[in-house]
Chain A
Amino acid sequence: MSPDRTELIQRQSPLLAGGGALVVYAMFIASSYDQRLLTISGIYVIMVLGYQFIFGHAGALSLAQGAFFGVGAYVTGILGSQLGAGFLATFPASIAIAAGLALIVGIPVLRLASHYFALATLALSQLLLLLAINWEPVTGGANGLPGVPPIQIGDLRIDRGVPQLAFVWGLAGVAILIASRQLRPIRVAMFTVMRESPLAVPAFGIDAGLLRLRAFLLSAAFGGAAGALFVHTNRVVSPETLGFGTMVTCLTMTVVGGRFRISGAIIGALLLTHLPEWFRGFDEYYLVMVGVLLLAMVIFVPDGLASFLKDSSWAGQIRTRARPAEPTDVLDAAKPTLNITNVSKRYGGIQALDRVGMSIETGEIVGLIGPNGAGKTTLANIITGIDRADSGSSKSAHIDLAAATPTAIARNGIARTFQTPQLPNELTVRTAIEVAAANNGGHCLTDTVITSCQLINILDAPCGTLPHGVRRRVEIARALAGQPHLLILDEPAAGLAPDEQTVVAEILRAHAAKGLAILVIDHNIDFLQPLATRLACLDSGRLIADGSVADVLADDAVLTAYFGILRQ
């Protein structure tokens, strides 16, 4: 046995021991009622595993997980009791229809901000509940449909008790495998970036929409599977399975167990299924207690009970996606790497940019100065696709920037940093850089970038613990990790001590020497003057100067607009 595996087993030993004890209990000690509870727990494990994708990893409060569970239940219930279809037909149908529904509503709804998404999914659930109650010929109305057959595969009938228990937990095991395959270290890190640094998501080369859609589809598929199994054990499908109660159960299990870890799904499902039995004395007040528990968990144990287990998470290495080698010397030195012509942008009554034209060639370091509100950041936002120009064109060597998404632009070699560094607090420096490298196609570059940005000593520190000056270097490393041909920096010297500024300038110079084109927005002339090979000045949206550093700094218009000096 490899040392890795031994270590893994050691780390997981409490879980394995607990699992073993449960198996013994289920087989030899549990009454048939207890076995039923364990079966239901296994079903909820599947539902919660699915919910963790969207609520935990994607960080979006979906209130439709109960609805997907109910859809799975109704599909199996209707096909099974009315048409007599077998498990091999109904189970995939339940999954497919739940996921299909998620696809239909997910595409428009997933781009919504947090509460819009929560309420849209709640509206969907209420709609399905109304449908289940009122579409009587098909759904059986408020009473539901009785006579759902047990699970039958060919001649094999899975009866209640141990067979059903084993079958459900077998499928829960499959669900765990699928979930752990989906949650590769790189993907977990991408989800973390999405939750913690929403502004920088495109800069990391992450397609947030696709990632969220994947999470939503998985949650729906798992929910549908769980609902299908639930009606097989219950033999009746009723509107209750679709109701807000199921959603509350799922949410509570996820919050109590933990919203990120697979062990959390198991703990939450087992605990919340058995809790009503242990607190029978509370009667109707039991559900009040569930509310109190949910509230208390969010406040006091936000990461759930699984956070008390030893951390077995994501020790794996992130493998970067290898892009066909495209060494920097391929970039033609004479070819402009960025070409903007006649770009204009208006915000309400303010002309932020007025027919700006500029081009940047490989190896150049262009400093962009101008008073506050001159349009510098707007220009950076238009180049990186975060804002759209009203008119004009912006092109790079590889891509028409005016038509591409911010993520596509980042993946095509245009990197940027932000005025305030946008880094995910929880990720380590190494992981943050690796995520950017993997998504933006920088291959095997991480080590070089880490060395050149002098981060070797803090690689394993979470980004949230770093002081401002270091965060800036990490962000520059994140930008360089994708092997860009153009790097745009928004006030890289702001808030840095003079020696830190020197380090940043050295990093930039070294990469420019290898052919990287750099656009530096800054106010700090002392920083720019020795660094830039060219200087441009914006004033009230117009480019009033563009030329050698000495010429621009001596220009009358620049002196008036930027330095407030009036020459006679």
Chain B
Amino acid sequence: MLVAQLALNAVALGAAYALVAIGFVLVLNATTAVNFAHGESVVAGGFIAVALTGVASGIWPSSLPGIIFLPGVLLLTALLGLAIASLAYLPIRNKPPVSVFVTTIAFGIIVTNGLNAGFGAAPRTVPALLGSGTVEIFGITASRQSLAIIATATLLIGMLAILLQRTQLGRKFRASAQDPEMARALGIRLTRITLLGFALGTAFAGAAGLLLAHQFFITPFDGVGLILKAYVAVVIGGWGSLRGATLGAMLIATFEVAVASVSSQSLAEGLLYIAVLLVLLIRPEGIFGETQRLRA
């Protein structure tokens, strides 16, 4: 019984982490750049939801379910993604990758401290997606929020899959990820693909912020921990693989929930960081192999 509930929690957490990791890989595929502001994008998504809740409460007397804010969060974080791309990536795309690391770190500093100045350092929360409380399914007492997180993440990932697999734009995106030179030769405008990658990737991170902020609260300084988790998921899943990133996110969430259930969250986090170092030490190409050649 308890195991089933823990498993559900793990899957829900994994689904939210998967959005973060997928967002990271989308930027990676569009540019080969590692976006160090990605963790802050999750935080930004959470705080956009906090702000929208505040605005909505002024207009609508009764409290609204969190899912209402999803389109707003997606749109605004997509805009944030365009800002990251045009300020921190495009001006220096021909410089060594380390330059992009530093500019995206700088962007993260701006976001973190902007949020800290605007909202304060105290943890904030957002409304549950579709109401709080529990429901009984197959004899299991399941939290509504966990189920809503899984449903929302599945919906978003499904829409992304359709975009990438079934549309011309998605085909262009995948072509550019596999071979940018050839894609350019075929008339694909790489700058647009870059912007698309950052917009989509950051919107996915933002959505994860909305999903995570209800249960776990959110502070402006959570970005560093989140990017490490996304990164581990991507490394475990194979650099550049969307499917691998999802799987990696599920593994991390399971690990975190399992360790936290018998010990503390700090220990779970600490062991995760040790795991990062060990994975990098033993198999830097990822547990499931590398799907694209390193160009970074």
Most buried by A among B107, B110, B228: B110
Q: Is A59 an interface residue (CB 8 A)?
A: yes
CB neighbours of A116 from chain B (8 A): 235, 280, 284
Q: Is A17 an interface residue (CB 8 A)?
A: no
Contact with A251, one of B88, B102, B225, B280 (Cβ below 8 angstroms) = B102
Would you call the interface of chain B mostly helix, strand, loop, or mixed?
A: helix
Q: Is B101 an interface residue (CB 8 A)?
A: yes
B113:A284 contact, CB within 8 angstroms: yes
A112:B280 contact, CB within 8 angstroms: yes
B210 to chain A, nearest CB (A): 23
Q: Which segment, of B62-70, B133-141, B253-261, B269-277, faces chain A?
A: B269-277
CA distance A290 to B34 in the complex (A): 21
CA distance A127 to B88 in the complex (A): 28
Decide: A195 near B96, CB < 8 A? Known: A109-B281, A114-B296, A291-B107. yes
CA distance A126 to B268 in the complex (A): 13
Decide: A298 near B103, CB < 8 A? Known: A113-B296, A291-B109. yes
CB neighbours of A60 from chain B (8 A): 98
Write the chain B residue with the least CB distance to A134.
B266
Instruction: Tell me how many residues of B have a C-beta within 8 Å of chain A.
Output: 44
CB neighbours of B221 from chain A (8 A): 244
Write the chain B residue with the least CB distance to A111.
B284
Q: Is A468 an interface residue (CB 8 A)?
A: no
B280:A59 contact, CB within 8 angstroms: no
B277:A124 contact, CB within 8 angstroms: yes
B270:A288 contact, CB within 8 angstroms: no
Write the chain A residue with the least CB distance to B267.
A134
A262-299 CB mask vs B (1 if < 8 Å, else 0) is: 00000000000000000000011101101110110011
CB neighbours of B225 from chain A (8 A): 126
CA distance A244 to B95 in the complex (A): 25
Decide: A130 near B102, CB < 8 A? Known: A112-B284, A299-B91. no
Contact with A299, one of B103, B269, B274, B296 (Cβ below 8 angstroms) = B103
CA distance A54 to B34 in the complex (A): 19
CA distance A77 to B146 in the complex (A): 45
Write the chain B residue with the least CB distance to A55.
B98
CA distance A459 to B68 in the complex (A): 68
CA distance A122 to B284 in the complex (A): 16
A208 to chain B, nearest CB (A): 16
A115:B105 contact, CB within 8 angstroms: no
A284:B103 contact, CB within 8 angstroms: no
CA distance A288 to B224 in the complex (A): 17
Write the chain B residue with the least CB distance to A283.
B117
A115:B34 contact, CB within 8 angstroms: yes
B102:A285 contact, CB within 8 angstroms: no
CA distance A283 to B227 in the complex (A): 27
B150-167 CB mask vs A (1 if < 8 Å, else 0) is: 000000000000000000
CA distance A124 to B281 in the complex (A): 13
A290 to chain B, nearest CB (A): 6
B91 to chain A, nearest CB (A): 5
Q: Is A392 an interface residue (CB 8 A)?
A: no
**Of residues 193 to 209 in B, which have CB atoms within 8 Å of A's CB atoms?**
none
Q: Is B131 an interface residue (CB 8 A)?
A: no
Contact with B273, one of A112, A127, A248, A288 (Cβ below 8 angstroms) = A127
CB neighbours of A131 from chain B (8 A): 270
CA distance A28 to B110 in the complex (A): 38
A130:B92 contact, CB within 8 angstroms: no
Q: Is A105 an interface residue (CB 8 A)?
A: yes
CB neighbours of B294 from chain A (8 A): 113
CA distance A516 to B227 in the complex (A): 54
**Of residues 37 to 56 in B, which have CB atoms within 8 Å of A's CB atoms?**
none
A348 to chain B, nearest CB (A): 12
Write the chain B residue with the least CB distance to A107.
B281
CB neighbours of B108 from chain A (8 A): 291
Decide: A120 near B113, CB < 8 A? Known: A294-B102, A295-B103, A298-B102. no
Decide: A302 near B99, CB < 8 A? Known: A120-B277, A123-B276, A126-B225. yes
Write the chain B residue with the least CB distance to A114.
B97
CB neighbours of A255 from chain B (8 A): 102
CA distance A347 to B274 in the complex (A): 33
Decide: A118 near B109, CB < 8 A? Known: A123-B277, A127-B270, A302-B95. no
CB neighbours of A118 from chain B (8 A): 34, 36, 101
B106:A119 contact, CB within 8 angstroms: no
Q: Is B17 an interface residue (CB 8 A)?
A: no
Q: Is A379 an interface residue (CB 8 A)?
A: no
Write the chain B residue with the least CB distance to A295.
B106
Contact with A130, one of B34, B99, B269 (Cβ below 8 angstroms) = B269
B105:A113 contact, CB within 8 angstroms: no
Write the chain A residue with the least CB distance to B34.
A115
Q: Is B231 an interface residue (CB 8 A)?
A: yes
Write the chain A residue with the least CB distance to B294.
A113
Write the chain A residue with the least CB distance to B231.
A119
CB neighbours of B92 from chain A (8 A): 298-299
Q: Is A61 an interface residue (CB 8 A)?
A: yes
Q: Is A108 an interface residue (CB 8 A)?
A: yes
**Of residues 92 to 122 in A, which have CB atoms within 8 Å of B's CB atoms?**
105, 108-109, 112-116, 118-120, 122
B280:A61 contact, CB within 8 angstroms: no
Contact with B224, one of A105, A112, A126, A298 (Cβ below 8 angstroms) = A126
CA distance A39 to B136 in the complex (A): 64
A251:B296 contact, CB within 8 angstroms: no
B273:A291 contact, CB within 8 angstroms: no
Q: Is B116 an interface residue (CB 8 A)?
A: yes
A119:B228 contact, CB within 8 angstroms: yes
Most buried by A among B105, B231, B269: B105
CA distance A156 to B296 in the complex (A): 53
A284:B95 contact, CB within 8 angstroms: no
A284:B117 contact, CB within 8 angstroms: yes
CA distance A139 to B97 in the complex (A): 37
A330 to chain B, nearest CB (A): 43
CA distance A292 to B280 in the complex (A): 32
A294:B116 contact, CB within 8 angstroms: no
A253 to chain B, nearest CB (A): 13
Q: Is B87 an interface residue (CB 8 A)?
A: yes
CB neighbours of B113 from chain A (8 A): 284-285, 287-288, 290-291
A356 to chain B, nearest CB (A): 26
Decide: A251 near B105, CB < 8 A? Known: A119-B276, A122-B228, A134-B266. yes
CB neighbours of A124 from chain B (8 A): 273, 277
Write the chain A residue with the least CB distance to B92.
A299
CA distance A123 to B235 in the complex (A): 13
CB neighbours of A288 from chain B (8 A): 109-110, 113-114, 117
CB neighbours of B273 from chain A (8 A): 123-124, 126-127, 130
Write the chain B residue with the least CB distance to A121.
B277
Decide: A291 near B106, CB < 8 A? Known: A119-B231, A120-B276, A126-B273. yes
A213 to chain B, nearest CB (A): 15
User: 9 A–B contact pairs at CB < 8 A?
Assistant: A109-B281, A114-B101, A114-B296, A119-B235, A126-B269, A244-B221, A283-B117, A291-B107, A294-B103
Residues of A within 8 A of B (CB): 55, 59-61, 105, 108-109, 112-116, 118-120, 122-124, 126-127, 130-131, 133-134, 195, 244, 248, 251, 255, 283-285, 287-288, 290-292, 294-295, 298-299, 302
- Top 6 closest pairs, chain A to chain B, by CB: A291-B109, A291-B110, A284-B117, A287-B113, A294-B106, A295-B106
Residues of B within 8 A of A (CB): 34, 36, 87-88, 91-92, 95-99, 101-103, 105-110, 112-114, 116-117, 221, 224-225, 227-228, 231, 235, 266, 269-270, 273-274, 276-277, 280-281, 284, 294, 296
